[in-house]
Structure 1
């Protein structure tokens, strides 16, 4: 795979790791005040944006916007599946995998000519 096609994928992977922590990491600390969770999440999201914006900017040279979005959704699901099991201790069940699989099929359709 050429670098111009790979860099957006790697940047999207990194951005999704940050965003998953921003969106769901606080669930492990439910006793902390909500405003602190919001502030920490915003701080983490800043790093997500520092990767996501360049991913889409670079990626738009080789992928269409719908393709970038489809790719991002699949990456998000993969990152979330690992995060849910590893960090939150909530492994996905068969129905979660089935639902995610349907989303992967939808993203695949976006890449068809």
Structure 2
């Protein structure tokens, strides 16, 4: 159960993180935000990132072996990185229509999956 809960919390966390880091790049297409300055964009991104931490911190505490979870620190980090990339690909494909997912991206992600395999190999 802790495995699944950790992964779900990491997915939620990364969804907020991706929106905080890259979502503001679409603000130029929105009438209500086209005149906002950089400081306003930073504050909005910080506000969104707050929710990222509301999921990330519990995910790490629940998932970390040192606090009773199933994962080592290295395993948690690798999981987080792979989830980040998957969430980013979905986000960029849905919201940035000019971005394309190419074969070299797929090959790179396959190598990351291999990294996960080797990190979790006992």
Shift of 1:70: 0.6
- The reply on whether 1:62 has 2:62 as its aligned counterpart is no
1:4-48 Cα shifts (integer Å, max 9, x gaps): 111000000000000000011011124542222211110000000
Specify every segment of 5 or more residues in structure 1 that has no aligned partner in the other structure, as ranges.
none
| C-alpha distance in structure 1 between counterparts of 2:103 and 2:42, whole Å | 31
Task: From the CA coordinates, give the structure whose radius of gyration is larger.
Answer: 2
Contact 1:16 1:76 survives alignment (8 Å): yes
Which of 71, 75, 90 is residue 83 of structure 2 equivalent to?
A: 75
> TM-score, normalising length from structure 1?
0.91
Higher mean Cα deviation, 89-98 or 72-81?
89-98
| Structure 1 counterpart SS, 2:96 | coil
Shift of 1:93: 1.5
Specify every segment of 5 or more residues in structure 2 that has no aligned partner in the other structure, as ranges.
29-33
Number of residues of Structure 1 aligned to a counterpart in Structure 2:
111
Compute the RMSD of aligned alpha carbons. Answer: 1.3
Shift of 1:100: 2.2
